[in-house]
Amino acid sequence: MITIALSKGRIFEETTPLLAAAGITALEDPEASRKLILPTNRPDVRLIIVRATDVPTYVQYGAADLGIAGKDVLDEHGGDGLYQPLDLNIARCRMMVAVREDFDYFGSIRRGARLKVVTKYVKTAREHFAAKGMHVDLIKLYGSMELGPLVGLADAIVDLVSTGGTLRANNLKAVEEITDISSRLVVNQASLKLKRDQLQSIMDAFAKAVAANQ
């Protein structure tokens, strides 16, 4: 049995065509079903539906053989025990620093001000500001980071931005890009040895479908 860990929503939707290219179709829609284990048309393949941030954990411990997770999530998790053979080029967005429209970010940096930053991506943010030689106070949030600068919790946020619509709607502006984000295939290293042929054929089909989409 091959177990693939996915999250609902965007990742599931954008993965469906890749699974199809590997001859895999979910027999139920995770948005409609309450099941956490979804059978597929292939008796040897099942999908498990987990939180996006939990995908690396399931794969790392071998509870899933394969998983699909954003680079944002993988960077925070760290790569332990995970083989990352393929950028799937889906769920693309950017990790950015953003501030209130009326806030002088670069001026504050020049003056050596110690900024307060809210983010769900504490490790990514810590490494980014350390590399710039900036001292910041990081405050961990679990969502709606955009609110932080609006109510005086922080000067800046580190968050994912795609269209910028949420920033604009909250009078924020992006001031710095940290990195480009897309989703990656992750593979358990022991599974790769034990189930080499089955996994390789899925990985090859994904790679072909990704290349055809470029």
Is residue 159 involved in binding ligand ATP (CB under 6 A)? no
Residues 88-127: x where in contact with ligand ATP by CB under 6 A, - otherwise, as a string: ---xxx----------------------------------
Joined together, the tokens standing for residue 72 give: 């944002």
Residues 6 or more apart whose CB falls under 8 angstroms from that of 200 comprise none
Query: Using CB under 6 A, which of 5, 11, 82, 187 touches ligand ATP?
Result: 11
Taking CB under 6 A as the criterion, the residue among 38, 66, 73, 185 binding ligand ATP is: 73
The only residue of 72, 99, 124, 157 in contact with ligand ATP, by rule CB under 6 A: 72
Instruction: Specify the residue, 7 or 119, whose C-beta has the smaller distance to ligand ATP.
Output: 7
Q: Cβ of residue 138: shortest distance to ligand ATP, in angstroms?
A: 19
Give the whole-angstrom CA distance, residue 106 versus residue 134: 12
Q: How far is CA 43 from CA 2, 12, 82, 198, in A?
A: 9, 20, 25, 13
HSE-up (13 A, CA, CB side) for residue 2: 25
Could you give the angle at which helices 196-213 and 10-21 cross, rounded to 10 degrees? 110
Chain residues binding ligand ATP by CB under 6 A are 7, 9-11, 52-53, 70, 72-73, 91-93, 143, 160, 162, 181, 183
